[in-house]
Amino acid sequence: MLTANEWEVVQLSVKVALWCVVVSLPPGIALGWLLARCTFRGRLLLDGLCHLPLVLPPVVTGYVLLLLFGRRGVFGPALETVGIDLAFTWKAAVLSSAVVGFPLMLRAIRLAVESVDPRLEGVARTLGAGRARVFATVTLPLAAPGVLAGSLLTFARSLGEFGATITFASNIQGETRTIPAAVYTFLNQPDGEAAAARLAILSICLSLGALLASEWMARRLRRREV
Amino acid sequence: MIEVRIQKRLEPFELNVDVSCRYPVTALFGPSGSGKTTLLQIVSGLMRPDEGEIRVDGEVLYSSSAGVDVPPECRRIGTVFQDSLLFPHFTVERNLCFGFELTPPPDRRFTFEQVVDLLQLGALLDRRPATLSGGERQRVALGRAILMSPRLLLMDEPLASLDARLKERIMPYLRHIRSDLEIPILYVSHSVSEILQLTGQVIVLEQGEVLAHGDFFDIVHQPGVLHVAEAHGFENVLQVEVVRSDEHSGSTVVRFGEQELKVPLCDRPPGSRVFIGLRANDLILSRTRPQGLSVRNAIFGRIESLPEGRGTQLVTIDVGKRIVAEVTREAVEELGLMVGDPVVCLIKTHSIRVGGDVE
């Protein structure tokens, strides 16, 4: 059904989306917990900064990433000396879709942590568990459906990421050409319409599946609350 | 020995407590929002006071002047709340083991089997908290707290969410914990009858201040204390011995001291000891034993004090044990009741509530 070329595009997209979830999870869980459980100076600002990619044009996000992590960007030379070259590689595609998808991940985890009764954590502490153990044995397991829902949502968002990726990671076949970039490319070719349609249908199916799974997890979380 | 001297600014008042208690069970008593729950949170370490000092058995757990603040996980203070707060994602067994496994073996005072037997949890071990009844949940919560071998148990209205029948069934377990396991308990409750089944030692809190502290019947005279106790209907609790049951008349005769009472028929054998409850406003006072009344019970006593309630008059009477009656002020004036006068208390059999067994 798909040509080898298109198949490569799909594989790359899934790989980028999976890595996007993997790199967003640790900061997502840490910041989600921080925003749900702690009050500190600058909390509102941090919250705003984390949600900024949700409303910013993705092209602008990509441009900012280029300014920060590009070869001539602020951190580019420093990264290059330790052997990390992001720009125009699939890792750059991961970074840009992770930044754009991060607010979705953060919001889901934060809501999930907020739904855990803090008194359960208090009881766990009086029973002899330190903060870290309480988090690992009580908070995280109870928030797990929310964490999973957030991961699925981020996965779906990453599959659809175009603007930031094409700005920061470009559109290089076999390296950074994900499904949206490929559809865009095929549409610009005189005989590419059939390929674009095939990829578009596949894209719809993948995204819808991830969204439904995410919604199902979120529902499970809500049900347990009542 | 628990010594608490703390201050904590709260809205709309300041919690200001300075007490020390050395009794197996000390009850914290007071209206809603008087600071009882906050005080328990501070003792457990989940909330930090503004200043002061907390010691348990001489060990300093918190001291603002010495800069000591032992975290809750190192205090070894168990907690049981009104809504049992079991971990919903664990089975009963894992809930029970949570604190047990975190307690170093040399510090463990009870075995898992011992506590499971005591609270009769054997059949519940594989169940999830969501499938348990309210009474079962509270038993699991008690077991979980005991298994961490606490040096002090804090209980915040542990029976409040249960109906009267279930309360009677949990109460013996609480008395077991008090008497057999020898764990001191700080017990928050609204209910005088519940408290008196466990202890006479009471700390009365109102608006964050300690209103009174001591033996309940010694402090009950104080006006502030009485209106707190009255708010929920004052109920006397007596320990009595079953003499005989008469199914024909539908009553059981019980004895306390030299006097006998007829109570609603109960299925305990003669010689067994039970608690009975007499509501203060169900007691009728008389100078003499009247004739031609349907009331079956007349007990004789002597008036000890006449504290004023809110709109009513309270009379504490020594009937071999101290009980409180609530009557109108006019009645006291008409009868000319004075401290030291002999008096007859009349009680309808069916206004007496038969409670749980005394161990």
- The answer to whether A125 contacts B46, with C-beta atoms less than 8 Å apart, is yes
Min mean pLDDT across A2-6, A60-64, B205-209, B299-303 is at A2-6
**Can you give the pLDDT at residue A21?**
94
Nearest by CB: B73 against A117, A120, A130: A130
Q: Comparing B236 with A120, which gets the higher pLDDT?
A: A120
Choose the closest CB to A123 out of B71, B79, B103. B79
Q: Are the beta carbons of A125 and B72 separated by less than 8 Å?
A: yes
pTM, 2 dp: 0.78
Q: Does the pLDDT at position B40 exceed 80?
A: yes
Contacts of A137 in chain B (CB under 8 A): 98
**pLDDT of residue B135 exceeding 90:** no
Q: For chain B, what percent of residues have pLDDT higher than 90?
A: 29
Confidence check: pLDDT of A99 > 50: yes
**Could you tell me the sign of the dihedral formed by the alpha carbons of A200, A203, A209, A212, in that order?**
negative
- H helix intervals, chain A: 4-37, 43-55, 58-69, 76-81, 90-114, 118-126, 131-134, 140-160, 163-168, 179-187, 193-225
Distance of alpha carbon B44 from the chain centroid: 20
Q: How confident is the model at residue B171 (pLDDT cuts 50, 70, 90)?
A: confident
pLDDT grade, residue B71 (50/70/90)? very high
Question: What residues of A are in contact with residue B148 (Cβ under 8 Å)?
Answer: 127-128
Nearest CA in chain B to A142: B89
Return the residue in B44, B48, B61, B73 with the most chain A beta carbons within 10 A, the one to mutate for interface testing.
B73
Tens digit of each residue's pLDDT (9 = 90 or more) over B150-167: 999 999 988 887 777 778
pLDDT of residue A225: 47
Indicate the pLDDT class of residue B141, thresholds 50, 70 and 90.
very high
CATH number assigned to the domain comprising residue A32: 1.10.3720.10
Residue pair B99/B169 in contact (Cβ under 8 Å)? The answer is no
For residues A72 and A82, what is the distance between their CA atoms, to the nearest angstrom? 15
Cα separation, A58 vs A40, whole angstroms = 30
CB B309 within 8 A of CB B227: yes
- Which of B200, B232, B264 finishes a domain? B232
pLDDT greater at residue B73 or residue B169? B73
pLDDT at A20: 94
Across B145-173, b (16+ Cβ under 10 Å) vs e yields bbbbbbbbbbbbbbbbbbeeebbbebbeb
Number of domains in chain A: 1
- pLDDT in the model for residue B72: 93
Indicate yes or no: CB of A141 within 8 angstroms of CB of B75. no
Assign B126 a pLDDT band (cuts: 50, 70, 90): very high
Are residue B58 and residue B181 in the same domain, yes or no?
yes
Residues B278 and B147 in one domain: no
Range with the poorest average pLDDT among A22-31, B213-222, B269-278: B213-222
**Hey, which of A115-129, B23-37, B194-208 has the most confident mean pLDDT?**
A115-129
Distance from CA of A184 to the nearest CA of B (A): 47
Indicate if the pLDDT at residue B237 is higher than 90: no
SS3 for B60?
Answer: strand
The interface pTM score, or ipTM, of the predicted complex is 0.78
Tell me the pLDDT tens digit for each residue of A121-134.
999 999 999 999 99
Query: In sequence order, which ranges of chain B are alpha helices (DSSP H)?
Result: 36-44, 92-102, 112-118, 134-147, 164-179, 192-196, 216-219, 223-230, 329-335
Chain B nearest-CA residue for A225: B88
CB-nearest to A127 from B41, B71, B102 is B102
pLDDT tens sequence across A172-226: 887 888 888 888 888 888 888 888 888 888 888 888 988 888 888 778 766 654 3
CB-CB neighbors (< 8 A) of A130 in chain B: 71, 73
Q: How many domains does chain B have?
A: 2
> What's the confidence (pLDDT) of residue A226?
38
Both B319 and B336 in one domain: the answer is yes
Interface touch B81/A138, C-beta < 8 Å: no
User: Quick one: closest CA in B to A143, which residue?
Assistant: B89
Mark yes or no for CB contact A129/B44 under 8 Å.
no
Which residue, B194, B216, B232, sits at the end of a domain? B232
Q: Is B8 on the interface with A (CB under 8 A)?
A: no
Whether residue B183 is found in the same domain as residue B282: no
- Residues B256, B296 share a domain: yes
pLDDT in tens, B83-108: 889 999 999 999 999 999 999 998 88
**B167 shares a domain with B28:** yes
A220 touches chain B (CB under 8 A): no
* SS3 call for B262: strand
Q: Are residues B199 and B270 in the same domain?
A: no
Here the CATH number for the domain that contains residue B340 is 2.40.50.100
Query: In this structure, are B52 and B36 located in the same domain?
Result: yes
Phi/psi for B271 (5° steps) reads 95, -20
- Measured CA to CA, the distance from residue B283 to residue B36 in angstroms comes to 31
From B149, which residue of chain A is nearest by alpha-carbon distance?
A127
Name the residue range of residue B185's domain: 2-232
Quick: pLDDT tens for A64-79. 988 888 777 778 777 7
**Domain that includes residue A89, residue range:** 4-225
Q: How does the average pLDDT of chain A come out, rounded?
A: 87
Q: Is the pLDDT of residue B198 over 50?
A: yes
Nearest residue of A to residue B94 by CA position?
A137
Q: What is the mean pLDDT of chain B?
A: 86
Residue A159 has pLDDT above 80, yes or no: yes
